[in-house]
Amino acid sequence: MISIIGSGKVGSAIAFLIAATSLDDIVLVNRTKEKALGQALDISNAASWENPVSVVGTDDFSMIKNSDVIVISASVAVYEKDRLEFLSQHVQLIKDIAKKVVKYSPHSKIVLVTNPADVLTYVFNKETNLSRNNIIGVASSLDSSRFRYVLANELGVKTKNITNAMVLGEHGDSMVLLFSLAKIDGKPVLNSLSTPQIDKITNDVRYYWKSLRRLKGPSVFGIAKNTTDVLRAIINDKDLAMPASVLLNGEYGISDVCLGVPAKIDKDGVSIVEIKLANSELKSLHDSAAIIKNYILQA
């Protein structure tokens, strides 16, 4: 069973993908019961005929008991200026949810989506003292999808021609785009990019969310798909390699902070994968960690 805490646009989109692919039964928890019930009524109709799953809506947290995975997508409001808007309110929200998770389903894998994802993944870790392998922040994989898309557009190729386009660090302004690893048709993208192009791509990826806000509103489908990929890896025990926000304990020379790093996800949760980074990229990752730590102090 997969429980989703927060039945707004993102939570309901994740639930839709779960139901449409018959991944697992779903419990939608929302502070407004009627919204959870309505989303459940609608999403239930997306379940396949061959292998339908159940979709339940509720405001009762005890319904998350014995969940295999719990997705946290609840928020207090939609940010407009940056992901740190409503920081203190979101920290308190995550602390409240953490207490309920520990009470009703402490052995679940946790997939955290609410922004600022890195700060809140850290807060959840510290509030629960659960294994860091069970707590996954989904953000850098979305940034990596955006990096791949922007690279393809800049180079005039299809997205499938771009591989190893990975983004680490903060899901925010200090994110680290790994140009050194990205490839176009198997060849380093750096061979095809000028310095102004690199600067433009970096800016476009960092502020991709602003283009979305201007054109349509908050991101929904990208984060929903990336989150569902994580859920599928856990439920079906199929290894998934992707960047994720995880609590570091010395990896990459960084400790006591959550940020995006290469990871492997399966039924046992998340494990950090250490890869060789260019010196400039490693320094940028350390800088990003310092920025996130400062945000944590502010919270």
Instruction: Name the band, by pLDDT with cuts 50, 70 and 90, for residue 79.
Output: low
Question: 258 and 45 in contact (C-beta within 8 Å)?
Answer: no
> Could you give the C-alpha distances from 181 to 138, 165, 166, 208, 281, in angstroms and in order?
21, 7, 8, 21, 11
Residue 206, in any domain of the structure: no
Residue 297, in any domain of the structure: no
Residue 35, in any domain of the structure: yes
Q: In what order do the strands lie in the sheet with 269-272?
A: 55-58, 26-29, 2-5, 69-72, 109-112, 135-137, 240-249, 255-266, 269-272
What mean pLDDT do residues 178-205 have? 96
Question: How many domains is the chain partitioned into structurally?
Answer: 1
Residue 244, in any domain of the structure: no
Tell me how far apart the alpha carbons of residues 275 and 181 are, in angstroms, rounded to a whole number.
10
Residue 37, in any domain of the structure: yes
Domain range enclosing 63: 2-137
Q: What is the pTM of this model?
A: 0.95
Question: 226 and 145 in contact (C-beta within 8 Å)?
Answer: yes
Strands (E), 1-68: 2-5, 26-29, 55-58
Q: What is the pLDDT of residues 13-66, one digit of tens each?
A: 999 999 999 999 999 999 999 999 999 999 999 988 888 899 999 999 999 999
For residue 245, what are its two tokens?
Answer: 């926000």
CATH number for the domain that contains residue 109 = 3.40.50.720
Residue 296: the pLDDT is: 94
Residue 173, in any domain of the structure: no
Residue 276, in any domain of the structure: no
Residue 295, in any domain of the structure: no
Q: What letter does residue 241 receive in the DSSP assignment?
A: E
The length of the chain in residues reads 299
Instruction: Give the residue numbers annotated as catalytic, written as ranges.
Output: 171
Question: 231 and 111 in contact (C-beta within 8 Å)?
Answer: yes
